[in-house]
Chain A
Amino acid sequence: MLRAARWLTPIFPASKALPMFTPLTPGELAELVRSTALAGEALALHSGNSLSALGHPPRGDRLHHSLSLAGFDAIIAYEPDELVLTVGPGIPLTEVKALLAERRQRLAFEPPDWGPLYGQPAGIGTLGGVIGAALAGSRRVTAGGARDHMLGFHAVNGRGEIFKAGGRVVKNVTGYDLPKLVTGAFGTLAALTEVTVKVVPAPETVDTLMLPRLTPARATEVMAQALGSPHDVGSAAYLPASIARDLIPGAGDSATLIRLEGFAPSVEARAAALMAEFGGTVERLGADVSRKLWQALGDATPLVGLHEDCLWRISVPPTAGAAILEAVQAVRPLATGWLDWGGGLIWLALPPHPGERDGGAAFLRGLVTDGHATLMRAPERVRASVPVFQPMPPALAALAQRLKASFDPHAVFNPSRLGA
């Protein structure tokens, strides 16, 4: 059993018997990693802890200590003109957003707050969590994801070494792009102590065009037309009637949504041009409704209350999404779901199904030929028994193992979070 070093604050959370380590300097963190490795034990990394139920639960064969990186929460440098922000990854996302808003900037990839989805309070998520889990909202389809805005980091690897990669400027190809690699790695490669991200100007205004009553297939065509138009469409989603009614005042039927952002005269002109091209009924939802609506879609708010359901997030080529959504709803009429990313992202909530123990994994993965399905939320016993992430072919899985070992040879960090 690892002994807490003198500089660590052993906090004993009510539910767990083991102390939580909260190092405050890279040196302390490195020492902790080294002693954990020596003891043959493991560390479960988190900062805000809003996403602890995402991924495989720790396996019982090794002792896992809880490692909080929340202590690395400083604002190190914010240079709006250079479009870069350097912070400790433990900084709450809400704080980052407020800081950027003061200079009319934002994170382009619209990181959501999934705390409530996991039964946690809103606002506890950190930038480190956003990067570790590669969270992105509806704008992912045009603005890129967390990986596209991750420029550099300092970290401690599984050997207990302090290292860095990338840089603090927006354009850099010096050495391997490890900043992208650690994004979405769910803390399995390194414990981040400092990150530099690219920030962008926030748009002056936003509006959303709504086309009511389309089928998912027709909606997909409309979304492809919009995203392939010269009108700078930022995101496109399709909501079945039940969800549209909850999120859009006055909506009674399915809603196909096209978001436009930017300078006011430009948004105005593009909205007019798109409405003319679509023809038929098109409503404009206005800035206030738009802001709340897209935030709710990113945060997956419609799924928050569905406690019994297993939640899935499926990424496919945009034109493949509608058919999968329809195929699911044909045999599981109680399933809730919608399309984002122009059809390329399917959010799904599957209610318990007689005789099904895998949360719908076999059923859904059978429908997804090209893409990947992630089990976002499920009871621990389900997550322990099925692959949470889309299984990899054996050669790729072997490479992933070698890559993990190149950072973390003793498998100290989140050893089973990504699966075997």
Chain B
Amino acid sequence: MVQMPMPNEGILARRADIVRALYDLLPEACVIADAVARRAYECDAVSAYRQLPLAVVLPRNTAEVAAVLKYCHGAGVPVVPRGAGTSLSGGALPVADGIVLGLGKLNKILDIDFPNRAVVTQPGVTNLGISNAVAHAGFYYAPDPSSQIACTIGGNVGENSGGVHCLKYGLTTNNILGLELVLMDGTILRLGGKQLDAGGYDWLGLLTGSEGLLGVITEVTVRILRKPATARALLLGFPSSQVAGDCVGQIIAAGIIPGGMEMMDRPAIHATEAFVNVGYPLDVEALLIVELDGPPVEVDHLIARVSAIADQCSAMTKRISTSEAERLAFWAGRKAAFPAAGRISPDYLCMDGTIPRRALSHVLTRMGELSQHYGLGLANVFHAGDGNLHPLILFDANKPGEFDKAEAFGADILRLCVEVGGVLTGEHGVGVEKRDLMPVMFSEIDLDQQRRVKHAFDPKLLLNPGKVFPLLSRCAEGGKMHVAGGALAHPDLPRF
């Protein structure tokens, strides 16, 4: 279990008073105090990390969110914001001396404005819910995390989530126009709107991806796009990942930005084919799905160009979708990668580093060596266009020590990503999972600058504590964090 900040005994002792105060602020159905019902909130999608919160509150509107935060601010009670709890970095993991503030009851779409291509929504609406609400007019909300049927737009803003189409259409941050934010002290701020430039500091940019550490988002204005007229895909098999990676580079060099460009390695191909049976070639080392979307004339034109590039790159197999059913079949395996991994292994860890694509074959080779070293299997799916790797580490949590080994393996992979010029996380966030690796990428001065930004929003450090920034008490443990020379750059600064 990952270490969390030591719970404040004083708060634990005051639990009954705190719960009573919350009942005073909210209707009874909006406060969850009993242990059994609270258990539903003890973890997010990183289920290896669990913690029962003091209580759970489910406010129904901005005013109630503000009232809860104001109370907690005064009483010194930590607050963990939570959307659907699908975070893959432990971002919504509760703390023992804090409450979970669930946004699930703020689940209404407030305004659909086609002429301004914007939707105003409460944070608890699911990602897919937004697209569904505008689909009748041919519109959609572009960022499409695989979890989109469950994850909320508030959580997407929290994590700056991506999806398979984000090379062309951007991450959450590129598709947000406005936010309503409640600060920890209960102050309500409205930022941006349906206009493009909000003026002043780029609050939207700072808040998107801030992992619930700066404020609670109570309303989101998103940009919606007209659905591309058509989409077609190529399924390409290659003798090596290196060649597949080169092919990706050549497509981009030809001036083509595909709607999606996904790669799988041999273990991933075999696992997914066994799971969904869509006819993936089993004799290739790497499989590439290249999807072109847009006006039909353009898609046909680009299919021909990508096809020619694939031939030059000596693709071993090449299929081009001729129907919507066939295109979806190409995707079926890739989309089933996680459950497929779940079928070949009792447990798996999904990693999320980004690398410069030129380093791909080096990284894959090194990961193969690490896999041998740890004695754990590995399957790779990869957002090839933007270099975002999702290695799936296969392990069995019932075997003593295996989870720790899997975590150590994962940390080695992320260190490798940074070593080759990449980053620790491309779309899943730092959370608690990668928190202690932050010093691999950032110096203590870099991190202190970020800590001071946190401080400007939440000086008492009550919002989502224990996330994103390494806990100092971990310094000496397992080499997970090191402080250069044992010296702290700013001993005066609060650490959290």
Contact = CB atoms under 8 A, between A and B. Distances in A.
Whether A and B are associated in the same complex: the answer reads yes
Interface of A: 79-84, 103-104, 134, 136, 140-141, 144-145, 147-148, 157, 161-165, 167-181, 183-185, 200-204, 220-221, 224, 227-232, 262-263, 265-266, 268-270, 273, 315-319, 341, 344-345, 370-372, 374, 389-390, 392-393, 395-396, 399-400, 402-403, 405-407, 418
B196 A172 contact: no
B180 to A, nearest CB: 12
B430 interface: yes
Contacts of A407: 449, 452
A204 to B, nearest CB: 7
Contacts of A173: 159-160, 171, 209, 425-430
A3 to B, nearest CB: 26
A370 to B, nearest CB: 6
Contacts of A183: 202, 205
B449 A165 contact: yes
Contacts of B301: 263, 265-266
Contacts of B453: 176, 178, 181, 403, 406
Interface string B421-442: 1111111111000100010011
A172 B423 contact: yes
A345 B296 CA distance: 31
Given A134-B202, A317-B113, 19 more contacts: A81-B249, A81-B358, A82-B387, A148-B174, A170-B387, A171-B386, A172-B354, A172-B425, A177-B173, A183-B202, A184-B197, A201-B252, A265-B301, A315-B197, A318-B116, A389-B199, A390-B200, A396-B189, A406-B452
A184 B301 CA distance: 39
B202 A317 contact: no
B115 interface: yes
Contact of A171 (B195, B427, B456): B427
25 contacts: A81-B249, A82-B358, A163-B443, A167-B423, A170-B387, A173-B425, A174-B441, A175-B438, A175-B447, A175-B468, A177-B205, A177-B210, A178-B453, A180-B204, A184-B202, A224-B117, A228-B114, A266-B301, A315-B199, A317-B194, A370-B195, A390-B199, A390-B200, A406-B449, A406-B453
A210 B114 CA distance: 23
Contacts of A136: 197
Contact of B446 (A164, A229, A269, A390): A164
Contacts of A145: 196-197
Contact of A371 (B166, B193, B428): B193
Contact of A174 (B249, B387, B423): B423
Contact of B199 (A140, A178, A372): A372
Interface in B149-187: 159-160, 162, 166-167, 170-171, 173-174, 183, 187
A161 B449 CA distance: 9
B200 A400 contact: yes
A83 B254 CA distance: 12
Interface size class of B (residues with CB under 8 A): 35 or more
A167 B118 CA distance: 30
Contacts of A316: 195
B356 to A, nearest CB: 5
Contact of B253 (A81, A266, A400): A81
Given A163-B445, A266-B294, A317-B194, A169 B226 contact: no
Interface of B: 113-118, 138-139, 159-160, 162, 166-167, 170-171, 173-174, 183, 187, 189, 191, 193-202, 204-206, 208-210, 226-229, 249, 252-257, 294-298, 301-302, 354-358, 383, 386-388, 421-430, 434, 438, 441-443, 445-447, 449-450, 452-457, 468
A232 B294 contact: yes
B452 to A, nearest CB: 4
A344 B195 contact: yes
Contacts of B199: 315, 372, 374, 389-390
A175 B442 contact: yes
B457 A171 contact: no
Contacts of A400: 200-201
Contacts of A84: 356
A405 B298 contact: no
Contacts of A406: 449, 452-453, 455-456
Contacts of B204: 180
Given A148-B174, A345-B196, A181 B442 contact: no
B201 A168 contact: no
A345 to B, nearest CB: 7
A253 to B, nearest CB: 24
B383 A228 contact: no
Contacts of B197: 134, 136, 140, 145, 184, 315, 372
A269 B249 CA distance: 28
A229 B355 CA distance: 35
Nearest to A397: B200
A148 B226 CA distance: 20
A327 B162 CA distance: 41
A163 B446 contact: yes
Nearest to A260: B295
B187 A319 contact: no
Contact of B356 (A169, A176, A202): A169
A282 to B, nearest CB: 18
Contacts of A268: 297
Contacts of B254: 201
With most chain B CB atoms within 10 A of its CB, the pick from A229, A270, A317, A389 is A317
Contacts of A319: 115-116
Of the listed residues B139, B208, B255, the one surrounded by the most CB atoms of chain A closer than 10 A to its CB is B255
A269 B297 contact: yes
Contact of A399 (B189, B438, B449): B189
Contact of B354 (A171, A202, A270): A171
A403 B197 CA distance: 19
A174 B434 CA distance: 9
A181 B205 contact: yes
A7 to B, nearest CB: 22
Nearest to B443: A163
A78 B454 CA distance: 33
B8 to A, nearest CB: 25
Contact of B442 (A164, A220, A262, A374): A164
B456 A405 contact: yes
Contacts of A176: 206, 209-210, 450, 453-454
Contacts of A370: 193-195
A418 B253 contact: no
Nearest to A144: B174
Nearest to B442: A175
Contacts of B422: 167, 169
A178 to B, nearest CB: 7
Interface-centre pick from A171, A268, A395 (highest chain B CB count, 10 A): A171
Contacts of B115: 220-221, 224, 228, 318-319
Given A82-B357, A319-B115, A231 B450 contact: no
